[in-house]
Structures are given as C-alpha cells and as structure tokens.
C-alpha cells in the first residue's frame, strides 16, 4: 500500500511560506474538484486564474499526451516545433512581432523589465533608467518584480532594492505626470489590477499612459499575466481599450495549468535582447509550448470569448442577489471571468473569512487583498455549475453574516 499524505505533512516537510486550506484535492474534471475523502467542490478559484479550460480539459490532455510521447525538452541550444508554432500563433493574434518564452509570470515580467532597461540604455544612455509602476500592483516574486510591484510587504526585509523605481497611484494620471520625465525608461501596469483588488483601468488612464510614454520616449509595458488569454472576454485585455503597449507579458491562463510564460514585443525593441543577453533553460520547453498552443487555439474563438461575457453577467447577477439580501458588498466589479466583490464597511478585512466557510459548503473561491472576494473560474464553466456554486457561496455568506 502506498502512503497517503495528510495536511500535517505540509507543516512538517514544506517551507512555511504558504498556508494552504485544510482539504487536499486529488482529482479534477471541468469545474469540479474532489478531495481525499471524495467530497466534491465547484472551483471558482481556477488555480488563481490559471485553469482557463477547467481541470483536465480533453483538448489539453490530448496535447499533453501526444507531446509527452514525442519530445519534452531540448534547452535553447536547439529550437523546437511547438515553441515556434506557439510564438507564431501569439504574434498573429496580437500587436507583437517577437516572443520570448519562459516558465512563469514573474519570469516574463523580469524579461520585460530587463528588455526595457537594455533597449533604453542602448538608445538613450544609462541616465534614462526610471521605472514607474503603481501602488497595489503585483508583478511577481523575483527581486526586480517585487521591487517594481506596489506592495512593499513583498520586497521588505530582503536587503537593498534595485534603484530607479517609482510608484504612482493607479487610475490617477496626475500622479504619473508628477513623476515622469525624460529620464523615465518605462511604465509597467496591469490593465486591470488583479492581486491589488480587481480594479479595471479607466480608458482615460491607459490612453493617457500611452501619450505620456510617447511624449517622454518611454516604453509602456502591460502586465497581462492575470488578465490575458481570454480572461477579460477578449484575447488580451488591452484589446478592450485600443491602447497598444510596447511590451506585454502573459502567463497563468496561457498554459491552462502547465507552467509557461511569455513576453511579447515589437521588431523595433526586440533586437536589444541580443544573443546572450537573457535566457531560460526551460523557456520554450516543447511540452509546455504544445499545451499552451492548444490552450491558445481553443480559447481564442468567438464561442469561448463570447461565453466569457455571458458568464460574467451570470456571476454578477448572483453576487447582486446575495448583496440585496445581506449588504455585504460595497462594489461588484471586474471584467470577463475575473470578478471582484469588495466587502462593505461592516465586513472590512473579512473577505478571507469566507473561504473556509465556502469550502465547507463545497465551493472554492479566492480573495484579492483583505477586502475583495475574487472569482476566477474556468472560461468554459457550465452555467449549471455557476448556479450551483453560487448557491453554495450564498450559503457560506449566510453563515458569515450569522456569525457577525
Ligand atoms: C500572478 C501574477 C504574476 C506572477 O506570476 P507567477 O507565475 O506567479 O510568477 C505577475 N503579474 C500578475 C499581474 C499576476 O497576476
């Protein structure tokens, strides 16, 4: 008999940087998960906006199996067919001409920031090194990306942070005008803040950032790690705004659950990432690329993307009904299947208390900061699973209210 791990093994063997829920899911299919006891859950967490086609989608399983029996990994000493197909497919769907493949969102952003610095360095000189990003933003956990991110708790206590980084207020162009000058290298921004609380950018804000970057010959970087690959209802969220970045990063939904990231840019900027300037052993791994290609081709279709908007409306209706009953939310917002419900003043800081109650009721959800309940389900979640999952979530919130 093989040994069955328990939650207490986590505390015994794993580094203590996470605090996972008590249940251990062992199997998933579509938008349902089952734990070690065989209890079933509806998954509105989606592996934090990663499982864009739910669990074990047949299209992804097929791509994984076929590639798994063909070729996994070569390193970048050789190129491979799935990586080339994926890069071409991303170029054809976006503003970009060139793609750098890697294995995570943080790594894609690290590449974006290094490319921006290097391009500007070569073109304008080393004094033009300032990077502007936004308070509450999240760009990953490498040391450069936590420093650019706007949540100091993630960069404190690790020694001196890289220089030249400034933080402005999200959706506030005046705060950017106060910082930007001819020594600004780049602005990095999420078209909708994810970890920062599901806050969509205003049209005026993104258009204004593009203008300011153009005025000061700075690069505009969109971090679409969370918002990209169908999550917003378009292939990338920038497509809602008609504002084109110079560099864009993708990960999460891109692999549908297989670790992969990508940085996209233009023919003008890409040459600064010359031979030897940057790299990644796993970047463009054949297995990861094959799964991502299948995910991209399946997601970027009118059926899936139009379905995202329809499902958004359904989630919103359910959340509004809960709110009519209990008044627990101050605002319900988001785009596509990245939906946030901000807690009302009476429930300030209590979003996380919903999660264990929701698990008891058989539904998995997320938070985005202490005040926002976040839902990031599969883009193809059946409507009946939305109804059932929201009924369960409503029961969890009934219990939160009873306890208060
Ligand atoms: C999740 C996330 C990242 C980091 O991605 P990892 O794959 O965890 O490195 C970066 N930016 C945004 C906007 C994210 O949501």
Instruction: Give per-residue pLDDT as tens, 312-340.
Output: 999 999 999 999 999 999 999 999 999 99
Note whether 21 and 165 are same-domain residues. Answer: no
Cβ atoms 180, 218 nearer than 8 A: yes
Instruction: Please state the rounded mean pLDDT for residues 193-218.
Output: 98
Q: Last residue of some domain: 299, 327, 355?
A: 299
Q: Which atom of ligand 1 is nearest to the CA of 145?
A: 10
Catalytic residue check, 315: no
Note whether 184 and 110 are same-domain residues. Answer: yes
Note whether 195 and 266 are same-domain residues. Answer: yes
Query: Average pLDDT over the chain, rounded to whole?
Result: 97
Rounded CA separation 358/392 (Å): 7
62 inside domain: no
Instruction: Please state the rounded mean pLDDT for residues 37-58.
Output: 98
Note whether 226 and 110 are same-domain residues. Answer: yes
Catalytic residue check, 100: no
For residue 325, what pLDDT is reported? 96
Note whether 229 and 89 are same-domain residues. Answer: yes
Which is the catalytic residue, given 100, 134, 138, 258?
Answer: 138
Note whether 30 and 146 are same-domain residues. Answer: no
282 inside domain: yes
Cα–ligand 1 centroid distance for 220 (angstroms)? 18
Is 139 close to ligand 1, i.e. is its CB under 6 Å away? Answer: yes
44-53: buried (b, 16+ CB within 10 Å) or exposed (e) per residue? Answer: bbbbebbbbb
CATH of residue 338's domain is 3.90.1150.10
Q: In terms of Cα–Cα distance, which of 103, 212, 107, 203 is closest to 168?
A: 212
Note whether 147 and 167 are same-domain residues. Answer: yes
Q: Last residue of some domain: 248, 269, 299?
A: 299
Q: Last residue of some domain: 278, 299, 320?
A: 299
Is 389 close to ligand 1, i.e. is its CB under 6 Å away? Answer: no
Is 231 close to ligand 1, i.e. is its CB under 6 Å away? Answer: no
For 311, residues 6+ apart whose C-beta sits below 8 A from its C-beta are 337, 377, 379, 381, 383, 386
Note whether 119 and 81 are same-domain residues. Answer: yes
Note whether 48 and 92 are same-domain residues. Answer: no
Catalytic residue check, 174: no
For residue 403, what pLDDT is reported? 81
Q: Which ranges in 27-172 belong to alpha helices (H)?
A: 46-49, 58-68, 81-93, 105-124, 143-148
Note whether 211 and 278 are same-domain residues. Answer: yes
Instruction: Please state the rounded mean pLDDT for residues 188-197.
Output: 98
Number of domains in the chain: 2
Is 246 close to ligand 1, i.e. is its CB under 6 Å away? Answer: no
Cβ atoms 22, 7 nearer than 8 A: yes
Cα–ligand 1 centroid distance for 37 (angstroms)? 32
396 inside domain: yes
Note whether 266 and 311 are same-domain residues. Answer: no
48 inside domain: yes
63 inside domain: no
Q: Decide if pLDDT at 1 tops 70.
A: no
**Helix, strand, coil distribution of the chain in percent, nearest 5:** 40, 20, 40
User: Which strand (E) or helix (H) includes residue 394?
Assistant: helix 383-403
27 inside domain: yes
1 inside domain: no
User: pLDDT digits over 256-306, tens only?
Assistant: 999 999 999 999 999 999 999 999 999 999 999 999 999 999 999 999 999
Cα–ligand 1 centroid distance for 257 (angstroms)? 13
Burial of 197 per CB tally in 10 Å (0-12, 13-18, 19+): buried
Domain enclosing residue 333, as ranges: 7-57+302-403
User: pLDDT digits over 64-122, tens only?
Assistant: 999 999 999 999 999 999 999 999 999 999 999 999 999 999 999 999 999 999 999 99
CATH of residue 111's domain is 3.40.640.10
Is 347 close to ligand 1, i.e. is its CB under 6 Å away? Answer: no
64 inside domain: no
Note whether 292 and 157 are same-domain residues. Answer: yes
Cα–ligand 1 centroid distance for 295 (angstroms)? 18
């Amino acid at each position: 008999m093989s040994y069955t791990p328990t939650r207490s093994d986590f505390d015994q063997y794993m580094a203590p940087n996470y605090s996972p829920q008590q249940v251990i899911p062992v199997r998933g299919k579509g938008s349902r998960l089952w734990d070690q006891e065989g209890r079933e859950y509806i998954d509105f967490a989606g592996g934090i906006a990663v499982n864009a086609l739910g669990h074990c989608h047949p299209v992804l399983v097929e791509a994984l199996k076929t590639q798994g029996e063909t070729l996994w990994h070569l390193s970048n000493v050789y190129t491979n067919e799935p990586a080339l197909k994926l890069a071409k497919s991303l170029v054809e769907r976006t503003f970009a001409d060139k793609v750098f493949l890697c294995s995570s969102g943080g790594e894609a952003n690290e590449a974006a920031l290094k490319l921006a610095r290097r391009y500007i360095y070569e073109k304008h000189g080393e004094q033009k090194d300032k990077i502007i990003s936004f308070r509450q933003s999240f760009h990953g956990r490498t040391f450069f990306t936590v420093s650019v991110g706007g949540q100091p708790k993630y960069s404190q206590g690790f020694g001196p942070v890289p220089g030249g980084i400034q933080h402005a207020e999200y959706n506030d162009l005046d705060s950017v005008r106060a910082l930007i000058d001819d020594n600004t290298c780049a602005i990095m921004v999420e078209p909708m803040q994810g970890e920062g609380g599901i806050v969509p950018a205003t049209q005026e804000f993104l258009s204004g950032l593009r203008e300011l970057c153009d005025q000061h010959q700075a690069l505009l970087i969109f971090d679409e790690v969370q918002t990209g690959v169908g999550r917003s209802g378009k292939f990338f969220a920038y497509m809602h705004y008609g504002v084109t970045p110079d560099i864009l990063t993708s990960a999460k939904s891109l692999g549908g659950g297989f670790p992969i990231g990508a940085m996209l840019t233009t023919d003008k900027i890409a040459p600064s990432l010359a031979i030897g300037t940057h790299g990644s052993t796993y970047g463009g791994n054949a297995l990861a690329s094959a799964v991502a290609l299948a995910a991209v081709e399946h997601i970027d279709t009118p059926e899936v993307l139009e379905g995202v908007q329809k499902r958004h409306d359904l989630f919103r209706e359910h959340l509004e009904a809960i709110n009519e009953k209990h008044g627990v939310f101050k605002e319900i917002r988001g785009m596509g299947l990245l939906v946030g419900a901000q807690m009302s003043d009476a429930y300030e800081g209590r979003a996380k208390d919903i999660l264990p109650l929701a698990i008891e009721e058989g539904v998995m959800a997320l938070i985005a900061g202490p005040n926002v309940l976040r839902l990031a389900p599969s883009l193809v979640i059946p409507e009946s699973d939305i109804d059932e999952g929201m009924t369960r979530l409503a029961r969890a919130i009934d219990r939160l209210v009873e306890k208060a």
